Chain A
Amino acid sequence: MGLVLPEFDVKHPRGLDFKHVNSPTPQKYLIETMGGGVALFDYNNDGLLDIFLVNSGQLANPMRTPETFDRNEPRNWNRLYRQNADGNFTDVTKDAGLANAGDSNYGMGVAVGDYDNDGFPDLYVTNYGKNILYHNNGDGTFTDVTARAGVAAGGWSCSAGFFDYDNDGHLDLFVTRYMEWDTQHSKICGNEWHTYCPPATFPATTSILYRNRGDGTFEDVSQHSGIASSKGRALGVSFADYDDDGLTDIFVSNDGMRQFLFHNNGNGTFTERGLEAGAALTADGKPLSGMGTVFQDYDNDGRPDILVTVLPREVYALFHNEGDGSFSYRSLEAGLGTLTAASSGWGVGLEDFDNDGWKDLFVAQSHVLDNVEQIDAMLHYKETPLFALNHQGRFERADSGVATPLAGRGAAFGDLNNDGWMDAVVTSLGGEPLVLMNHGGTENWLTISLRGTHSNRDGLGARVKVNGQVRFATTAGSYISASDKRLHFGLGDAKLSTVEIRWPSGVNQVLENVKANQFLEVREPEKR
Chain B
Amino acid sequence: MKARGWSRARRCVQLSVVALLASQLAGGGFFRGTLSASTLLGIPLADPLAALQLMLLGVSPTAHLLLGVALVSGFYLLLGGKSFCGWVCPVHLLTDLLERFPGRESLPRLPLKWKLGSLGLCLALTPVLGLPVFEALSPIGALGRAIGAGALSGAGLVLLILVAELFFARRLWCRSLCPLGAIYSGLGRLSPLRVAFEEKRCTGCRRCQKNCLVPEVLEPCIGDKKSRVRSGECSRCGSCIDACPTRALQMSIHKTVEKKEVIS
Chain A partners chain B: no
